[in-house]
Amino acid sequence: MSTVAISAAEINKLRQATGAGMMDCRKALTETNGDFEAAIDWLRKQGQKVAAKRSDREAKEGVVIAKTTGDHKTGIIVCVSCETDFVSKNADFVAFAQSIADAAINNNVKSLEELNAAKVGDSTVADLVNDKLASIGEKIGVTKFERVDAPYVASYIHGANRMGVLVGLNKEVAEAGKDIAMQIAAMNPVAIDAESVPAETIERERNIAIEQMKQDPKMAGKTDDMLGKIAQGKLNAFFKEQTLLAQTFVKGEGNESVADYLKKTDKDLKVVEFKRVALG
């Protein structure tokens, strides 16, 4: 046990530096004989223990930030998760998530691993998360990261930071970028078009369709060839509903598709990539 006297000023200094509670700061300084830097490390270690104890807890709340570089050629989405909406709605926590998104932009981060190692002042993002965890006593973490690079990238945040969308276009058309981002937020397409749907997704949908037909008494006696043709029809319906360009444009009139909207806006305008991140 330390015999070093710990002053209120030292406790307050550590509290301001880490955001940890007063009693935690007092204990950290006591355990480290008043060594300020060692006390910060002690608190971080306590944060790691808290994370381990809470590893079975679900962090379904949080904040999603989507933003682009100044030239709109790169966009990132960051999800900082927590356990309760009480924390996620706190202005300080939202600002904390924003600072992590800024770090991603400022450090030209390309992956979640790079983001956790990115510098914010003298600390890394991982250190800041650990400090925040220790101060609020709730499981938090940077759980999702996405990036899009394109000639023009639009970003969109939906529902009080509960969802973020990035859309990469082949040319700068800001209004179209926003409209397509809102489409993606609302309709959650699986891919840009049928050609870009992952092969495993197509196979899964085909197998489901065939299995459903085999269990339908009305399909009794149908040949495998006939079932395959019917399954392809169901797949075509899936592509229309679940791929971006084939979807009905939510802001359009009648049966206008997203592809129709793009062509009407600029005959050469194309979506080259998109990302959508939602809480949960």
Q: How many whole angstroms separate alpha carbon 153 and alpha carbon 125?
A: 25
Give residue 1's pLDDT band: very low, low, confident or very high (50, 70, 90).
very low
Instruction: Give me 234's structure tokens.
Output: 């169901």
Q: Are 152 and 168 in contact (CB under 8 A)?
A: yes
Mean pLDDT of 41-69: 74
Which one-letter amino acid corresponds to residue 126?
A: A
- Assessment of whether the complete model's pTM goes beyond 0.85: no
Which one-letter amino acid corresponds to residue 161?
A: N
Q: How many CA atoms lie within 13 Å of 137's alpha carbon, on the beta-carbon side?
A: 3
The dihedral over CA atoms of 126, 142, 48, 20, expressed in degrees to the nearest 10, equals 80
Q: How many CA atoms lie within 13 Å of 7's alpha carbon, on the beta-carbon side?
A: 4
pLDDT at 136: 86
Give residue 49's pLDDT band: very low, low, confident or very high (50, 70, 90).
low
Domains of the chain: 8-53 (1.10.8.10), 61-184 (3.30.479.20), 194-266 (no CATH)
Q: Are 81 and 100 in contact (CB under 8 A)?
A: no
pLDDT at 70: 96
* pLDDT tens digits along 170-219: 999 999 999 999 999 999 999 999 999 999 999 988 888 887 888 788 88
Least reliable range by pLDDT among 70-79, 168-177, 227-236? 227-236
Phi, psi for residue 73 in degrees, rounded to 5: -100, -10
